[in-house]
Amino acid sequence: MNHVEHRLAGWGNYPVEPGWVCRPHRLDALRQLLVGGDQPDYISRGLGRSYGDSSLNGDRGVIMQTGRNCFLDVDAQSGVLECEAGLSFAEIIEHLLPRGWFLPTTPGTRFVTVGGAIAADIHGKNHHRNGSFGGAVLDLELMVASGEVIRCSPTENSDVFWATVGGMGLTGVILSARIQLTPVETSYVRVDYQRTRNLDETLERFSQTDADYQYSVAWIDSLSRGRSLGRSVIMLGNNASRSQLSPRQRQSPLEASPPRSRSVPFYLPKIALNPWSVQAFNSLYYEVHRDGSRLVDYYKFFYPLDSLLQWNRIYGRRGVVQYQALFPRETSRRGLKELMDKIASSRLPSFLAVLKSSGSAGQGILSYMYPGHTLALDFPVTAGLRPFLKELDELLLQHGGRLYLAKDATMSAETFAAMYPRLNEFKQIKSRIDPENRFVSSQARRLGIVESS
């Protein structure tokens, strides 16, 4: 099979690496690739929305999955979707939302594949109620390094299943999956907007409202300090019922169209994002979002940034690192305060800062989430960023926290091992089904999941 060399990056455009890309659409071609391909190892790649190097493979093989994007079966009564792993969330929404079915959980972009969602065990604004994506996966088909296709589920080959959910593509190539979708009555969310004065008030509001709202997320002013540290705009939502719609909306309650897309045409100069411009934006955002309620369609609520194509260019050619820190509930208040105070003092601008409440622990061996609070911050890549992020890593470890693999680009192997106590269990399963390490990524080498070669 032909391999074509490309320069590849994740959504953060950092790092950028060469990779030998192949697109095997047939199972026999994929099997031949794994058993006797030109490259020493491979990693699967979908739409490239993980931020760092988890879908890169340092001048080695990259298997593009986007061509395997067929619907295989949809049960209109139960809402069980069977599909190929390259099917995107955008395609699922386009075809199944008008029929009254939505995704069990979704990240902040619909441009992700089902295979990528399983591999990263993604989460969304409803984690405090519904958990991570892996909990909705009924079963999946996986091609392992030998070329054998095995069916995995929570009850069949369960160890491989839970190594694959959250396993970042390192157990094999996910071919297809069956997903339990969620029934919805309309394509709208009833959203309550609430401003808070500081982090204490934000966390208290989460605690008071988690049981009443399906969705909750807070935009945080990352540069506020003192008594305003952690001031936020909280968005709390529930799926709207038909009775909550206007007479006109009731005529087509499941009708929804993505807003017209615009594109960032070029990389912005690095001076565009600085402490002063970010602080000005934060002040404006906080002031214009007054307390109140309104109906918001799914596209605007779940995917506000999808209408701005290539928005990652605002961070410039050097790229961005998204730092997503999870603190356990018992230490999150103190840990978040220390983290945000350190960021505000550093004057390293984070254009986006999003806080969510997390619920039950993900069941995958390398799943990210457990009960607590998770804060995601975007840092433009600068000369002093890596040492600063190492300081944040140390602070996070002191509070028993961890980083999200789908966003990570800088974590050390030692930090990773300390944050993910089931790492050796994962390695044992991987060594059994992939003894020659045919599935490897640049991230896996950096984190010591596999040995560098």
* pLDDT per position as a tens digit, 185-239: 999 999 999 999 999 999 999 999 999 999 999 999 988 888 998 899 999 999 9
What pLDDT, on the 0 to 100 scale, is given for residue 453?
A: 65
What pLDDT, on the 0 to 100 scale, is given for residue 283?
A: 79
* Closest-CA residue to 67 (of 102, 121, 113): 113
* Closest-CA residue to 432 (of 30, 145, 25, 66): 145
- Domain 188-414: give its CATH code: 3.30.70.2520
Ranges of residues in the chain whose predicted pLDDT is under 50? none
* Closest-CA residue to 23 (of 38, 36, 33): 33
* Closest-CA residue to 396 (of 321, 320, 323, 326): 326
Q: pTM for the complete prediction?
A: 0.96
What pLDDT, on the 0 to 100 scale, is given for residue 53?
A: 98
In the chain, where are the structural domains located? 71-164+171-184, 188-414
Contact 181, 103 (CB under 8 A): yes
CATH of 71-164+171-184, one of 3.30.465.10, 3.30.1180.20, 3.30.420.40, 3.40.50.300: 3.30.465.10
